[in-house]
Structure 1
Amino acid sequence: MIDPHSRRPLTADTPHSVSDGERRWPVLDGIPYLRVGRGELVERALTALDDGRVRDAAAILLADNDDWWDQPPPPPQVLAEAYDAAADPRTTLRDAVTALGLGRVGDYFLHRDHDPSGLAVTALVATHPPAGRPVVDLACGAGHLLRRLVREPGETGGATGIDIVFAKLWLARRFVLPAEGGVDLVCADLRAPWPLAPDGDRWVCCHDTLYFLDDPGDVLHRAVELAGPGGAVLAGHCHNAEHPLGAAGHPLTTDEWAGLLPGALTYPEEELTDAALQGRRARPVVGTELERTEAVALAFDHVAALPQPALLDPSPGATLRPNPLYRDGVREWPNPRWAAEYGARAAVYLPETLPTDLSDDRAARRRVLVELPERW
């Protein structure tokens, strides 16, 4: 890990901070906060940690959010209490996203693994898997993809998740990722220099994020550099400017997205979702079929790793539970915005009432039964 300013290695100078020898950064629950442009926040968090006021530091870091978020953070005392509550095994991911005031983003995290775009990412990754290479998940959110990858034996050669929002990484560490660890989490801004340097071959991904950025081409260019000569770069859910549902953020046409990652295979999101539901390898397309998609996915792999069908299924030994989108046996979308974005496509594989006549394998394929974090 390197300092985003000096590009010098970062090492621990106290149990709660890292330094390049001149500049210090706070570390909470093993997550370094390296977000540039937040100097005053960094100093306040470091002061609290140096004074032993961990709850105060947690409230400072958990209140920080990205530039797109339009809701005020909860009061510091509420955030401090949410931090304390995570130590209680009875506290769930649902409790935490509510306490952190994450609203619709919290609903997104609660249902990420079984919404249509989440299924699309699953199919993209199964078609172009890490195959033992170190994984770097850019804008990893609450760590859902990282969880699945590290739970598949031999699939990764180590894993790192980077996100601009500390609270999302904290949710990953406390509620989503396996208790045995195996994933490094770092809070950093993709628009600034990254805390990683090219060093060997990596499998690098960035899903459901590039359309938020003013210069997605720069992120993809640096991802290719980070991946190295034997690596791979995947980018899922890139909004199509020519589709009515793809207008959010800074969308591009599918041709424009493809032009940002020369040589990449291109997939319509709908094809990827169908591939996940049907348990098959996704088929890349070009031309008019691609132009009609809501969002396009890109995949470039120097070594063309063989597909890994096991990644389409629950992780080995997983306990399956009824999809939480069913309440008292009836399908219910989390909120109107979720329904508008995902409802029509989710209704294709989730019937209105919880079925009782499906085999476990078929129910898992249709996401009627799902694998959830233990403290969901």
Structure 2
Amino acid sequence: MRTDTLEILRCPYCGGRLELVESMPHRLDAGEILDGVLGCHCCIFPVVAGIPVMHLLPESVQAREAVEAGDFDAAFRALIAPEDEETSARFQELTRRPDVTYRELVDALGGGFEGGYFLYRFSDPSYVVASAVVGAVAGTIMSQGGRAVDICGGSGHLTRTLLGLSSEPPVIADLFFAKLWLAARYVAAGCEPVCCDGNAPLPFARGAFSYAMCADAFMFIWTKRQLVTEMLRLIDRPGPGAAVITHAHNQLVWSPSHGNPLPPEGYRDLFETLRPRVYAEAALLDDMVGGGPLDLSRQDDAATLEADAALTIVASRDLAVFRAHAIVSDPAIRGRLRLNPLYAAERDSGGLSLRLSFPSEDYEDEYGACRRYLPEDLTLDRATLDEVAAGTRSPRVVELLRRRVVLDVPHRYC
């Protein structure tokens, strides 16, 4: 963690400032705290592999004790896969390989890590909508500066979108240490990870951010009212601000990973001091599939909202947010171009035949709307494959990027 992150970090329990406990074992490097212990008025918290762990769950206590003993490797293993020493050791060993990929590390964490969801994240419909909403809202709010926080940000797929928008490194917050480590090392390199519990007060100062978001996770938070109050506290500062929740499941429409969602009016009622706009995700996806614009000026009626499986919620006093936003048709490439891993590939003399293949029936049930832009099958000739490998943005490659057949993924992703 950067030492200047201490300026915005606060204890989630007493609200006090934190500082490095220099009398305990620690490692520093070029203005960053790699490992150590942070202390406030009431608690001490470990920093492991550059990630402050701001909760008191058993794995945090075990990691802190390992840091206090000077065993930073043991602290890392305690947090990667709590109560699974074999998986933690296997993961740690893989991290020592300079060529190891995100996909290999996710696979090493086993089926309980939601690896299928994360690996295919860049082309699922909820990401297609959320990344556009992030670009539109965060791009408007932070056009004159400001910092963003991605709460329950997983391994950083949407945090990556914030990297070019936040004037300071965007913060990604999540309860699962392994996800944050992957975000900081692979998916959103340059972000600032903080391990914390979304069901508790967030460990940040009031007004530390201009933009706060929670994507694809809000229905799994029990203390929803508290989290919304916390998001609004974090953006309580002079100037423009916004709180955004994307892909919140609708209590009125079943979905495979339902969680404990609310109906549309229930989500609205969480915002006591700032009336949000609630959007039907299907209508926003229509905008994206049609090439834009993303119309945030719309006000969906109750019947439309009640019939949609997922909702997007935007709260802001900045009216510039609530307009039609153009979709960038030929964005700059951030990482490397790769064929979408949802495709099974078969090589022949003329090129490559691709067939859409979902990792599970549940995935297909929840994200099958990707068929609206992903063709069931197609063949890419050798010249196109060479352009993809070289990162050439020819008209054909740009169209494949638009359809999500080809993805712009981080280096060493898959």
Q: In which range does the TM-score fall when normalised by the shorter chain?
A: 0.7 to 0.9
Residue 320 of structure 1 aligns with which residue?
Answer: 337
Q: 2:282 aligns with which of 267, 270, 277?
A: 270
Q: Is the 8 A contact 1:203 1:227 kept in 2?
A: yes
5+ long unaligned stretches in structure 2: 1-8, 28-34, 346-353, 382-394
How far is 1:53 from its partner?
A: 2.6
Write out per-residue CA displacement over residues 257-297 of structure 1, whole angstroms, 9 at most, x where no aligned residue: 12323521221111222323324223432221222111111
Over 3 Å counting, the alpha-carbon distance change for 1:311 and 1:187 in structure 2 is farther
Q: Is the 8 A contact 2:134 2:161 kept in 1?
A: no
Equivalent residue number for residue 68 of structure 1 = none
| Matched ranges for 1:1-376 at <5 A | 1-13=9-21, 14-15=26-27, 16=35, 17-20=37-40, 23-36=43-56, 38=57, 40-64=58-82, 75-103=84-112, 105-129=114-138, 130-131=141-142, 132-150=145-163, 152=164, 154-178=165-189, 181=190, 183-199=191-207, 202-229=210-237, 230-245=240-255, 248-261=258-271, 262-277=274-289, 278-283=291-296, 284=298, 285-305=300-320, 309=326, 314-328=331-345, 329-343=354-368, 345-356=369-380, 359-376=396-413
Equivalent AA in structure 1 for residue 400 of structure 2: A
| TM norm structure 2 | 0.80
Partner of 2:3: none
Please report the TM-score for the alignment, with normalisation by the length of structure 1. 0.87
Alignment partners' CA distance in 1, 2:282 and 2:379: 24
The residue identity in structure 2 corresponding to 1:371 is D
RCO (CA 8 Å, sep 6+): is it higher in 1 or 2?
A: 1
Please give the alpha-carbon distance, in whole angstroms, between the structure 1 residues aligned to 2:247 and 2:161: 19
CA deviation after TM superposition for structure 1 residue 206, in Å: 0.8
Distance in 1 (alpha carbons) for counterparts of 2:200 and 2:19:
20
Question: The residue matched to 2:149 in structure 1 has which SS?
Answer: strand
Distance between the aligned counterparts of 2:270 and 2:42, measured in 1? Answer: 37
Pick which of 268-277 and 240-249 moved more.
240-249
Deviations 1:201-229 (A, max 9, x none): 51000111221122312211221121115
What are the Cα deviations for residues 69-94 of structure 1, in whole angstroms up to 9, with x where unaligned?
xxxx6x31331231232232321111
Q: Which secondary structure does the structure 2 equivalent of 1:27 belong to? A: strand
User: 1:313 and 1:228 mapped to 2: Cα distance?
Assistant: 35
What do the CA deviations read for 1:211-261 (whole angstroms, capped 9, x no partner)?
112231221122112111531000011111111327711121112212323
- CA-based RMSD: 2.4
Judging changes above 3 Å, is the alpha-carbon distance between structure 1 residues 317 and 218 closer, same or farther for their aligned structure 2 residues? closer
Q: Secondary structure at the match of 1:206?
A: strand
Q: Name the structure 1 match of 2:31.
A: none
Give CA-to-partner distance per residue, 1:130-151, whole Å, 9 cap, x none. Answer: 423210111011011111221x
The Cα of 1:177 is off from its aligned counterpart by: 1.7
Structure 1: runs of 5 or more not aligned = 65-72
After superposing the two structures, state which structure 1 stretch, 86-95 or 232-241, moved more: 86-95
Distance 1:47 1:311, change over 3 A: farther
1:103 deviates by 4.1
| Change over 3 Å in CA distance of 1:125–1:41 after alignment to 2 | closer
Deviation at 1:29, TM superposition (A): 1.4
State percent identity of aligned pairs. 29
> 1:323 touches 1:368 (CA, 8 Å); kept in 2?
yes
Per-residue CA distance 1:50-72 (angstroms, 9 max, x = gap): 333333222211124xxxxxxxx
* Cα distance in 1, alignment partners of residues 155 and 408 from structure 2: 15
In the alignment, residue 224 of structure 1 is paired with which amino acid? L
1:127–1:282 CA contact under 8 A, matched in 2:
no
